[in-house]
Amino acid sequence: MTVHKTEPGSEKQDAPDDYVPSQRRLDRERHKRARARRATAIGAVSTLVTGAVLYLVVVNAPGWPRTQETFFDWGYAREAFPKVLEGLWLNVRLLLVCGAAVLVLGMLIAVARTLRGPVFFPLRFLAAAYTDFFRGLPLIINLMIVVLGVPALRLQGVTVDPVLLGGTALTLTYSAYVAEVFRAGIESVHPSQRAAARSLGLGNRQALRYVVLPQAVRRQVPPLLNDLVSLQKDTGLVSIGGAVDAVRAADIIVGRSLNYTPYIVAGLVFVALTIPMTRLTDWVTARMDRRRAQGGTT
């Protein structure tokens, strides 16, 4: 019988080469496999039955023919799809640029809110006021104020590009939410971590940079990814200023044809873009939960 280490501080004994599982264990494994197969079959059947019932309810509704013509016209879908994809590239660029800006600004605001000492009170106050204001202000109103109000001021050297103004409004709003996520992560780090860093000769800024922030960011990865998923969807709101993104491209076709199928196409494109990010969030969350359950670091 050999012994080898699987993790630091733990040992696991290998089974002997001539080990034969007992009949009870074999029966238990067969029972588990049978239960798994039965559960899968029941889930598949229930899904098919539910889908069939919903389909019959929808297609037998009195207004279904008119609804199908207005919202599910294949001809308008084929016309809208390439234009919606072309506009989606703007949404993707907004997501990448605004996402990076939101993470940086949110981190700075969170750090400002967690600074200690009376000398930093003005920074803490301003950071708290910022988060309270932009978390309470509806995003659509913020977009209207920035996209429509800033050009009305006619300020020299200030852009009137609806894409840049819309991205600015998105960054202002989402930075407030992300700042609170980062602040929760920073405050979740036990004070002993900071004390241990100080005892090793690190200053306050070094302890924050090398000890506190890495732990805080790792712990807050799932909610941060959720905020990015929401940001990806809300990039479509920049269309209120006239920017031709996926939503605006669909709106142009709808205004000409009075058929709403392009909206369905745009919605499905956004869903297709969101699903991978959502699954990534679920995977990261499950992985971190498993590590915590096994006593690993987060």
Question: Does residue 98 fall inside a structural domain?
Answer: yes
Tell me the C-alpha to C-alpha distance, in Å, between residue 24 and each of 15, 31, 33, 204: 18, 10, 14, 60
One domain, residues 288 and 233: yes
One domain, residues 56 and 107: no
Phi, psi of 296 (to 5 degrees): -80, 175
Question: Does residue 138 fall inside a structural domain?
Answer: yes
Question: Does residue 31 fall inside a structural domain?
Answer: yes
One domain, residues 87 and 41: no
One domain, residues 56 and 99: no
Tell me the residue range of the domain where 24 lies.
Answer: 18-61
The number of distinct structural domains making up the chain is 2
One domain, residues 87 and 174: yes
One domain, residues 23 and 136: no
The CATH number that applies at residue 231 is 1.10.3720.10
Confidence (pTM):
0.76
One domain, residues 55 and 118: no
Per-residue pLDDT of the chain (298 residues), as tens digits, is 444 444 444 444 455 566 677 888 888 888 888 898 999 999 999 999 999 999 899 888 888 888 888 898 898 999 999 999 998 999 999 999 999 999 999 999 998 988 888 888 899 999 999 999 999 999 999 999 999 888 888 888 888 888 999 999 999 999 999 999 998 888 888 888 878 877 888 777 788 778 888 888 888 888 888 888 889 888 988 888 888 888 889 999 998 888 999 999 999 998 888 888 888 878 877 887 777 777 655 5
